[in-house]
Amino acid sequence: MAGPDLNLLLALDVLLAEGSVVGAARRMNLSAPAMSRTLSRIRAMIGDPVLVRAGRRLVPTPRAVAMRADLRALIEEAQGLVAADGAIVPATLRRCFTLRISDGLIGTLGTPLAKSIIAIAPEVTLRFVREGEETVDALREGQIDLDIGVLDASGPEVKVQALYEEKFVGVVRVGHPLLAARITAKRFIQPRHISASRSGRQRGPIDSALEERGLRRDVAMVVPSFYAALFVAADSDLAAAVAHSVALGAQAAGLRIRPFDIPLDLPPVAITQAWHPRNDADFAHKWLREQVRKAALLLRPRGSRRSRPGAGLEQGP
């Protein structure tokens, strides 16, 4: 009797990860009708609907949920066998890696990473997904390959590697009155401020440091990302606080802003990458982690030490 079609198992893994026929088709370089036909074959092979419609999404059946972890482990083991001798040839490597990362890091760390991989591994696809609920479940279940950013907590089984430390700087538009003299803590709070927080927080470590000096800033606007804060600051009299590398990248791209040191004692934050230990023996995954580490070296200030995991902020100070 013929065994199961391993190509269908691979397709099922992608379908479960995407929860969408269109998304799975995109990852597997297929048309949506072809992916739908593949799903029908999977259902016939397993004898279960596997994915059922819930509004606009597809949700897994109990049978699919029960087999998901074993299926992911099987796929990863098979991928590891392809490179069983430990040799990875980037030019011929075909794989889609999913990285959970913030918008700010996509524009800084993600840029040199993508350039490098496009140049040396043209068949590799990097799929960046935005941060949301930062739990280890996505790593554990194989929904993402790497979690990159400010990771305050992780499961005991998760592997973590420090990449670099990021500091935060103030930013105002070119010609802002704040730049006319030395920026002290009292002058720092003269303009109204923009708070960058994906969860909508108005207060952060900057406010705590100001309170220690008997000062407070007036937050006029809360935005969900560093880039939103930068664009508003560039065209207004508001001040923002963003990651140093993000500010430098935006300035180099031509945004008319001026970064400055924040006159407060603010600790740097640790940027790390995390993965599930089952990927330790996956040579392709090792190669990916090394590419991330090399890209991070470009962002690490000269003479800086490695960052310490866990000492982080949610989005900005």
pLDDT at 174: 97
Q: What is the token pair recorded at 26?
A: 């995109």
Query: Domain locations in the chain?
Result: 1-82, 168-261
Q: What is the pLDDT of residues 119-174, one digit of tens each?
A: 999 989 999 987 665 667 788 778 889 999 887 656 667 889 999 999 999 999 99
Q: What is the pLDDT of residues 222-254, one digit of tens each?
A: 998 999 999 999 999 999 999 999 999 999 999
Q: How far apart are CA 75 and CA 33, in angstroms?
A: 24
Q: How far apart are CA 85 and CA 98, in angstroms?
A: 24
Q: Angle, to 10 degrees, between the axis of helix 283-297 and the axis of helix 110-120? A: 130
**Which residue, 121, 120, 99, is CA-closest to 110?**
99
* Radius of gyration, alpha carbons of the chain: 23
Whether the pLDDT of residue 77 is over 90: the answer is no
Tokens 């002058």 correspond to what residue?
Answer: 187
Determine whether 291 is exposed, middle or buried from the number of CB atoms within 10 Å of its CB (0-12, 13-18, 19+).
buried
Topology agreement, domain 1-82 and domain 168-261: no
- Report residue 201: phi and psi, to 5°: -75, 140
The CA–CA distances, whole Å, from 129 to 143, 239, 250, 282, 283 equal: 10, 29, 21, 22, 23
Residue 243, strand partner residues: 168
Sheet strands side by side (includes 193-196): 219-223, 193-196, 239-243, 168-173, 257-261
DSSP assignments along 159-188, one per residue: EEEEEEEE-EEEEEETT-GGGGS---HHHH
- Determine whether domain 168-261 maps to CATH 3.40.190.10: yes
CATH of domain 1-82: 1.10.10.10
Predicted TM-score of the model (pTM):
0.68
Least reliable range by pLDDT among 171-185, 285-299, 300-314? 300-314
Whether the pLDDT of residue 177 is over 60: the answer is yes
Buried b (16+ CB within 10 A) or exposed e, 52-85: eeeeeebebeeebeebbeebbeebbeebbeebee
